[in-house]
Amino acid sequence: MRKDSCRRFEPLLGELLDGELDAKTADTVYRHAAICARCAAKLAATRRLVEAARSLQSPEPPPLLWARIATRLADELPQKERVTAKPRRDRRRACWWRPRWWWRWQAMPLVQRSWKWQAKAAPVLFGATAVVIALLWLVDSGQLLLQPAGGAQMSQVLATPSGYAASARPTSFVSANSAVSIVSTVSTISTGSTVSAGSSLPDADLRDAVFSGVRGRAWPGGTGEHGFVQADADFAETISELGRLVEKERHRLPGSVLVEYESNLAAVERTVREKEEQVRRHPEDYGFRDELYGTYRRKMAVLQEVLVSGGSFR
């Protein structure tokens, strides 16, 4: 056997092993290897090599590798990809037209976060928003109070002390009912206790009462206490619910987000304790209470932010 023929067959030995040759060529190579010890030895050596290579097992990636990749993605993607990615990538990120209450609704465990549910909920939310806007507009223009809704009934509504609670609630709770409560609050503030049907209020007072909050206002007849209890309960329930969600999602949050969250939460909780102390010392000063509720809202914002920016609902 000449070396020339070996040179011709050598490249085919590997393909013979891999089963990539047609029957005729394979037979030719086989016949050559059967009479050529050199090629037979190469064939055996290649076979040992390939078998050893095939027997190697895939190593298991480190268990925390995904956490590190997710952290890098969280750090890098927002900066580099928001510009270059298709617009649809940003669909679920927080923005002005998808405010925080929407994310809160998304976080509800019983609500299925699917497009089907969102499609069903969209008209309801739209309708509720339209009603709220219409009511606020009516209040602002004074038309609602001029409606003769029945003197006794209106007096009863306006005498209920739930107005402060409604106005002190977080904005995400503002609904058609609370808008009515705002109306009663405004009326209570402006007139003392009751408003008879057909009476009117100056626009400036109404606007001031609705849009400037409750800071520094004296509340008639001590009606606030009942409302404060309700507002406190609402805030406590919301914060507790958000806290549960954060605890549930905690293991999925990247380390950098957790560190920032812990720091922000500690700061806001310090402020909450200070404000609560101020309210205890000055229970009659509604300005302190308003500040306390503002601090509650900041705490809710911190909890919502970690859920959103932590990647759970992006």
Q: Choose, by CB under 8 A, the member of 25, 28, 70, 230 that binds other proteins.
A: 70
User: In the complex with other proteins, which residue's Cβ is closer, 85 or 128?
Assistant: 85
By C-beta, is 242 or 253 nearer to other proteins?
A: 253
Tokens matching residue 157: 């509504």
Spatial contact of 189 and 207, defined as CB atoms under 8 Å apart: no
Minimum distance of other proteins from residue 107's CB (angstroms): 14
Residue 62 is a binding residue for other proteins (CB under 8 A): yes
Distance of closest approach, residue 62 Cβ to other proteins, in angstroms: 6
How far apart CA 227 and CA 234 sit, in angstroms, is: 10
1 CB contacts (<8 Å, ≥6 apart)?
32, 35, 36
Out of 8, 72, 244, 248, the residue judged to bind other proteins by CB under 8 A: 72
With contacts defined by CB under 8 A, name the span among 66-74, 142-150, 154-162, 288-296 that binds other proteins.
66-74
Query: Whose structure tokens read 């030995």?
Result: 13
Select the residue interacting with other proteins from 25, 40, 138, 305 (CB under 8 A): 40
53-92 burial, b if ≥16 CB within 10 A, otherwise e?
Answer: eeeeeeeeeeeeeeeeebbeebeeeeeeeeeeeeeeeeee
* Residue 93 within binding range of other proteins, rule CB under 8 A: yes
Question: Would you count residue 8 as binding other proteins (CB under 8 A)?
Answer: no
First-residue to last-residue Cα distance in the chain? 70
Applying CB under 8 A, which of residues 24, 86, 116, 281 lies at the interface with other proteins? 86
Of these, 22, 24, 35, 222, which contacts other proteins (CB under 8 A)? 35
Which burial class, exposed, middle or buried, applies to 266 when counting CB atoms under 10 A from its CB (0-12, 13-18, 19+)? exposed
- Those residues whose C-beta lies under 8 Å from the C-beta of residue 307, and which sit 6 or more positions away, are 103, 107, 242, 245, 246, 249, 313
Distance CA(304)–CA(302), nearest Å, equals 6
Q: Interface with other proteins includes 128 (CB under 8 A)? A: no
**Of these, 4, 23, 24, 88, which contacts other proteins (CB under 8 A)?**
88
- 117 lines the binding site for other proteins (CB under 8 A): no
Site residues (vs other proteins, CB under 8 A): 1-3, 6, 10-11, 14-20, 30-31, 33-38, 40-62, 65-66, 68-70, 72-73, 76-77, 80-81, 84-86, 88-93, 252, 311-312, 314
